[in-house]
């Protein structure tokens, strides 16, 4: 149990305005198996899709339509999911290893048959967390991978909670990071920021808080547990209690209200996406239409 007293609901605005359209057209019911399917992305907005739209509308649309996938190294995602599945259940962890062993287990050389080094690091992340009583007490008792849905100003949203402890009014999200204290350049604010604000996790927490309220009618406080992939791993627990943290969560919610309708119309084919002009997707589909003046060449 967290050492501090949990706060009472602050009477924050709720966003439950059920549209007539949604009542008529029942959306797909979300399950463990279809949660990540792109079909459901055309019915529910999510933190990850919203974030993709923020980066580049054209790339985000191509991704949910299965027209294009970014060429990314799957290791970082797999390491994160490996750690998550361990704290979900023994069954989930074994299933994850079984499904991904081709990627995770070395197939040649002296290390043949052993876990690749990245996943040995993941094992040490697991050790660091499971050896910590505070983590075990707070993260442990929660219901894992809980799907929540709700409406934010008429738009349906989905979310998946890593560990939800409804009876004590909190939820936890587990993040694996390179280095908890690494500084990141925040393009929007033009300054250095920590990994939580740079990756807009305050937005994710604000969305989840709202979706939990709508799904279970319970006010829950967000916590983030972070574990680093350093040797040995660092780990830390974060709450969002300060005025600064609360302000940034509210700011993130306002940002959603300002932009979600446009992103939704793009998803529905009612508006054309704008390409950022320089991301992986935009470079791939780029066609020249003439010359630009040399002095107009932008540098970043």
* Helices and strands, counts by H and E, the chain: 12, 7
> Residues 245, 249, 255, 258: is their CA dihedral positive or negative?
negative
* Per-residue exposure over 143-179, b if at least 16 CB sit within 10 Å of its own CB, e if not: ebbbbbbbbbebbbbbbbbbbbbbeebbbbbbbbbee
Stretch that binds Zn ion, among 37-45, 121-129, 222-230, 282-290 (CB under 5 A): 282-290
Which residue number, 77 or 276, has a Cβ lying nearer to Zn ion? 276
In this chain, which of 59, 126, 207, 266 binds Zn ion, going by CB under 5 A? Answer: 59
Smallest distance from Zn ion to CB 39, Å: 24
Which residue number, 68 or 134, has a Cβ lying nearer to Zn ion? 68
Whether 223 and 230 have beta carbons less than 8 Å apart is answered as: no
Our finding on whether 274 is near Zn ion (CB under 5 A) is no
Our finding on whether 266 is near Zn ion (CB under 5 A) is no
Stretch that binds Zn ion, among 88-96, 113-121, 201-209, 268-276 (CB under 5 A): 268-276
Our finding on whether 54 is near Zn ion (CB under 5 A) is no
Which residue number, 59 or 249, has a Cβ lying nearer to Zn ion? 59
Our finding on whether 275 is near Zn ion (CB under 5 A) is yes
Which residue number, 28 or 276, has a Cβ lying nearer to Zn ion? 276
Calpha distance 197→199 (Å, rounded): 5
Our finding on whether 60 is near Zn ion (CB under 5 A) is no
Whether 172 and 162 have beta carbons less than 8 Å apart is answered as: yes
Calpha distance 77→74 (Å, rounded): 6
Calpha distance 118→104 (Å, rounded): 8
Our finding on whether 61 is near Zn ion (CB under 5 A) is no
Give the interface with Zn ion as residue ranges (CB under 5 A).
56, 59, 275-276, 279, 282
């Amino acid at each position: 149990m967290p050492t501090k007293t949990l706060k009472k609901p602050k009477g924050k605005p709720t966003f439950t305005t059920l549209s007539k359209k949604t009542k008529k057209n029942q959306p797909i019911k979300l399950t463990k198996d279809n949660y990540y399917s792109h079909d459901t992305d055309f019915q529910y907005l999510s933190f990850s899709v919203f974030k993709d739209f923020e980066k580049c509308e054209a790339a985000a649309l191509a991704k949910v339509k299965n027209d294009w996938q970014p060429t990314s190294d799957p290791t970082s995602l797999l390491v994160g999911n490996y750690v998550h599945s361990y704290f979900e259940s023994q069954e989930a962890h074994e299933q994850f290893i079984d499904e991904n062993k081709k990627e995770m287990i070395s197939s040649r050389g002296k290390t043949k048959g052993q876990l690749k080094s990245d996943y040995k690091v993941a094992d040490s992340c697991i050790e660091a967390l499971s050896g910590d009583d505070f983590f075990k007490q707070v993260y442990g008792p929660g219901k894992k991978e809980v799907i929540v849905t709700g409406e934010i100003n008429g738009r349906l949203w989905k979310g998946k909670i890593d560990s939800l402890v409804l009876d004590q009014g909190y939820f936890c999200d587990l993040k694996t990071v390179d280095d908890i204290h690494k500084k990141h350049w925040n393009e929007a604010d033009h300054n250095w920021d920590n990994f939580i604000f740079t990756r807009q996790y305050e937005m994710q927490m604000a969305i989840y808080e709202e979706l939990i309220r709508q799904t279970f009618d319970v006010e829950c406080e967000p916590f983030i547990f972070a574990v680093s992939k350093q040797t040995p791993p660092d780990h830390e627990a974060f709450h969002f209690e300060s005025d600064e943290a609360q302000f940034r969560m509210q700011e993130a919610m306002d940002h959603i209200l300002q932009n979600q309708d446009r992103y939704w119309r793009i998803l529905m084919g009612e508006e054309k996406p704008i390409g950022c002009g320089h991301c992986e997707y935009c470079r791939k589909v780029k066609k020249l239409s003439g010359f630009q003046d040399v002095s107009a060449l932008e540098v970043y």
